């Protein structure tokens, strides 16, 4: 048997949903991104204070890109992705935080290189 919906019930449910949203942790985002051309490294500063550093050649979208192409990037939308518009390529922050710098085939190639080293 369904209970009747009244204004008070709806208001309580909305208030509970709003409170849950306010208490949820803010999603991580890239707050600063720098390409150190002389070192050929990307440094990403994350909203939680953590820094990620990647060699350009280990990022699949940039493996064969020139340094000039690597230097042309943006961190949109909302700092959750790094995007190279001239290459029409990008990587998600979520993936980078998990250690994914490319697709599955790319990651397997990097693992084989590590084993061989």
78-94 pLDDT, tens digit each: 899 999 999 999 999 99
7: pLDDT strictly greater than 80? no
| CATH of 30-116 given 3.60.90.10, 3.30.2020.40, 3.30.1440.10, 3.40.190.10 | 3.30.2020.40
Answer with the residue of higher pLDDT: 106 or 7: 106
Rounded to whole angstroms, how far apart are CA atoms 50 and 52? 7
C-alpha distance from residue 50 to each of 28, 35, 117 (Å): 10, 17, 28
Q: What percent of the chain has pLDDT over 70?
A: 91
Q: What percent of the chain has pLDDT over 90?
A: 65
């Amino acid at each position: 048997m369904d209970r009747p919906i009244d204004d008070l019930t709806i208001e309580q449910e909305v208030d509970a949903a709003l409170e849950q949203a306010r208490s949820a942790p803010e999603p991580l985002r890239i707050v600063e991104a720098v390409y150190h051309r002389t070192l050929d490294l990307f440094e990403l500063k994350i909203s939680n204070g953590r820094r990620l550093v990647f060699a350009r050649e280990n990022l699949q979208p940039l493996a064969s890109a020139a340094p000039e192409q690597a230097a042309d990037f943006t961190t949109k939308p909302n700092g959750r992705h790094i995007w190279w518009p001239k290459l029409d390529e990008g990587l998600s922050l979520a993936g980078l935080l998990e250690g994914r710098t490319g697709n599955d085939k790319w990651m397997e190639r990097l693992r084989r290189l590590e084993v061989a080293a």
